[in-house]
Structure 1
Amino acid sequence: MGMDFQPPHPVQFQGSGLARALVRALGWRVDFAGLPTLQGVIVVYPHTSNWDFPVAVLLKWAVGIPVQFWGKDTLFRIPLFGTWLRWLGGVPVRRSAPQGVVGQMTAMMKQKKADGEYFWLALSPEGTRRLTAGWRSGFYRLALEAGVPVGLAGLDYSRKRLVFRDFLRLTGDEDRDLEYMAGALQDFHGFRTGAAAPVRLINSGLSQADTIVK
């Protein structure tokens, strides 16, 4: 589980000094010690507000970690906005594709592994800012099928911090894996208290709500 990966991790980054200064000025901090592998899936939790995306982007620049996120392909066709999404790390996916969104991303992740190329995908398994009964399973299926680790990024407004140090390889035992994640993320509080979904899988499929950008 999470003990599989101990810092310092081999994949390191150099962030933006300007972004770090802005993060400090806003009273935030980031606890991050690098990545254990060149490919993986990042779970960002909890997701309760529109503020989560700009805050996460600023903290990402501060530590210098390049991450991708998936979004509906139609968004990337919008002039300027689509270019901006790609610049941020957006990856277009077609929900109507025969292999599905998870299938598309799994194939891409496996190809990146085969080529030895960097590729970390970040997403919110809650899929919405509203309170839901749990997490959508797209991230779990992707990481398990691609054979990559899951990184847990806890976004905590109560203490203005992002903690991203915990990584685990999924066992395929959903109850065991989700119990570990719940324990690792239990002390993180979203912008809207009480709107965070409980850490449990609520479906076996993937809908558009699994995307970070909708």
Structure 2
Amino acid sequence: MKTRPPAAGAARLPIRHSIARIFWILSRWTFVPESPRVDGARVIIGAPHTSNWDFIFMLCISWNERLRPRWLGKKSLFAGWRGPFMRALGGIPVDRSNPAGLVESLVAQVRTHDDLAIVVTPEGTRSAGTDWRSGFYRIARATGVPLTLGYVDRPTRTCGLGETLRLTGDVASDMDRIRAFYADKSGLRPQLRTEPRLRDETGRADD
């Protein structure tokens, strides 16, 4: 994984960057810049996912970091007039009946665009659940890109991109690192937070 100095990419996406800066000025939240700044394609976790506002936070975090986010959303979000708008914001409709096709498509896009930032909300819903979906893990492993831990934390009213790590394929060990990071992150609605845990953390992802 490569890092870049804070000034790198200063001319990228000026309009979206300005929108994000205005959002942070007007909101009661503090954006925490990524440190060290990471370059290259990656998967970004958006968690804890407890509110519709998380979508706005995700966009403004990405735009403030001058990233071009691609995010995964259920197909119904792209129905009718919303389709072109959602795609313009980086949305990728997910057909859950063909998950293999999605991973293959993302692998091809990473090979073509070395600055791709794929944003995934592993909780899959704004409601409290029992575990995370493993799509983010499978995508990061299949594409060979690092995983960045994005966060929203209401008690401190901070959000941003935290640690970036390389998944080892030892699912339990990797998830322990992820749990440690999110242990003190509560989301916008803490009562709806889901503990970072996959349904099956046994063995290796490569098995």
Q: Distance in 2 between matches of 1:37 and 1:6?
A: 5
Q: How many residues align?
A: 196
Aligned to 1:149: 146
- Tell me the SS of whatever aligns to 1:83: helix
Q: Distance in 2 between matches of 1:48 and 1:153?
A: 14
- Tell me the SS of whatever aligns to 2:192: coil
Q: Distance in 2 between matches of 1:116 and 1:142?
A: 15
Alpha-carbon shift at residue 49 of structure 1 (Å): 1.5
Q: Distance in 1 between matches of 2:65 and 2:2?
A: 19
1:2-13 equivalences under 5 Å are 8=5, 12=9
Of the three residues 59, 62, 69, the one matched with 2:61 is 59
Q: How high is the sequence identity, in percent, across the aligned residues? A: 30
Aligned to 2:133: 136
Q: TM-score, normalised by structure 2?
A: 0.81
1:2-151 equivalences under 5 Å are 8=5, 12=9, 14=12, 16-33=17-34, 36-79=38-81, 81-96=82-97, 100-101=98-99, 103-151=100-148
Compare 181-190 and 34-43 and name the one that shifted more. 34-43
Tell which has more relative contact order, 1 or 2 (C-alpha 8 A, sep 6+): 1
8 Å CA contact retained: 2:59, 2:69: no
8 Å CA contact retained: 2:72, 2:91: yes
Q: Distance in 2 between matches of 1:5 and 1:116?
A: 15
CA change 1:71–1:203 in 2 (3 A) is farther
**1:195 pairs with 2:196:** no
Compare 107-116 and 118-127 and name the one that shifted more. 107-116
Q: TM-score, normalised by structure 1?
A: 0.79
> RMSD value over aligned CA atoms?
2.6
**Aligned partner letter, 1:26:** S
Compare 108-117 and 48-57 and name the one that shifted more. 108-117
Alpha-carbon shift at residue 52 of structure 1 (Å): 1.5
8 Å CA contact retained: 1:43, 1:152: yes
Aligned to 1:207: none
Alpha-carbon shift at residue 9 of structure 1 (Å): 7.7
